[in-house]
Structure 1
């Protein structure tokens, strides 16, 4: 299987420490991180993705559907494409191995991809996690890669 991710969630996952909008959201996110850590690939999608799924079930007007979130995806895809030197757009498949995660975290910590995070309610938490060198972040692909 492949994990379906929207572009800004590529940034969110870098600092994910097990907090979320609801218990169902967090449990789902934990499962997705486990799948990615086990080597499952991701594919970029437009709009709500596998991480959003519990929110859509809880609220038909979930923020995942807002235009602002779509704009966040556009900014994230643009920033990641630039810093990774490869197109990050809908349909693009990614293998989130240790090397790629380290590159994305470096760009994130240096503020090179943070424009995508403007207006996000989790910005302060993610900034704190990045400042602490991603201590406690759950995304940790197999170190043998």
Structure 2
């Protein structure tokens, strides 16, 4: 089971193999690939640092405990009709995205995210809405 915080659900939608460090990218690619290839993989919605935060590099400012990040988590959990401690398959998360999210929500919910300017997350939401799932990311 993969433990995910709210905003990382949206991050996974837009993930394109970029990240904060090689170790972080390797971890995120592994989780992203697992969810893409095995959408029945269970995830647990948690409050606070998750399996992705676990590989955040020590040499960069640790933002995983920032108030703004917790607010973003809470908003995404709410939009998807989830609550902390819920356990569900990734396939169900994608279904909830199709029903409850529009690509334009990224600009509002993730307004202060430094990765938003790439436009990948909006594309990821659109893929899920069109039932195409997560985009394949080449492993390095």
TM-score category, normalised to shorter length: 0.7 to 0.9
Deviation digits for residues 65-108 of structure 1 (CA, Å, limit 9, x no counterpart): 11111111111112222xxxxxx1110112112x7526525723
Point out 4+ residue stretches in structure 1 off by more than 3 angstroms.
126-129, 131-136
Does residue 12 (structure 1) correspond to residue 34 (structure 2)? The answer is: no
Aligned to 2:73: 73
Counterpart-to-counterpart distance in 2, 1:12 and 1:36? 13
Give the count of matched residue pairs.
129
Runs (5+) with no aligned partner, structure 1 = 82-87, 140-145
Residue deviations 1:104-126 (CA, integer Å, cap 9, x gap): 257232x2465321200111224
Query: Is 2:41 aligned against 1:40?
Result: yes
Contact 1:6 1:47 in 2 (8 A): yes
Shift of 1:54: 0.9
Distance 1:15 1:67, change over 3 A: same
